[in-house]
Chains A and B, each alone.
Chain A
Amino acid sequence: ELQLAESGGGLVQPGGSLRLSCAASRFSFSSFWMSWVRQAPGKGLEWVATIKQDGSETYYVDSVKGRFSISRDNAKNSLYLQMNSLTGEDTAVYFCARDVPTWFDPWGQGTLVTVSS
């Protein structure tokens, strides 16, 4: 079964930074686009960022552009999300997902990021 496992979430103060990781297994990680999708508490899903197989192209939702950076290490089968200048509006569960491309499957279990003083 394809697997994605996020880590790195936690409590961070407004203006702080956090780096999320996503470990992939049981599929050819380097062959797929990958994405991050978030879900604020009690809210719907919001696409955050996407990266091409070789990392040469990255795309972001406007609300995180300039603050978040998506990257990957194909040798380690890992995806990352560097989040800077965090605000309360970034509080959410962050899911990594394989971008088939165009739809997302599978998804990881998510990691909670809470931005609060």
Chain B
Amino acid sequence: DIQMTQSPSTLSASVGDRVTITCRASQSISSWLAWYQQKPGKAPKLLIYDASSLESGVPSRFSGSGSGTEFTLTISSLQPDDFGTYYCQEYNNYPFYSFGQGTKLDLK
């Protein structure tokens, strides 16, 4: 099984900050990685797929990069609506999937 590890687990930041979240895979997953944002009590929302492709309608301040075992999600200038929990998800062994444990982004 592929293990996905996100860091940090919690991140405090201010509006306007540049924020980076890292996701590491226990083995190479090429670029088979997605990122989601989840607000409390809501369903996850797709942000990025194939490691760096921006989902339609997602603001351009979100970007993804990486391949192999290390990936990053970057928010170039944090906005008030961006607070929540972020998850990475691998699909290298589709249709078996695994998620990272999540990174909670809150207001400093």
Question: Which positions in A face B, CB cutoff 8 Å?
Answer: 33, 35, 44-47, 50, 57, 59, 61, 95, 99-110
Contacts and interface: CB of A to CB of B under 8 A. Distances in A.
Q: Is the interface of A mostly helix, strand, loop or mixed?
A: strand
Interface in B11-47: 32, 34, 36, 38, 42-46
A33 B91 contact: no
Nearest to A103: B34
Interface residues of B, number: 23
B94 A102 contact: yes
B44 A102 contact: no
Contacts of A35: 95, 97
A101 B94 contact: yes
Interface string B84-108: 0001010100111111111000000
A104 B96 contact: no
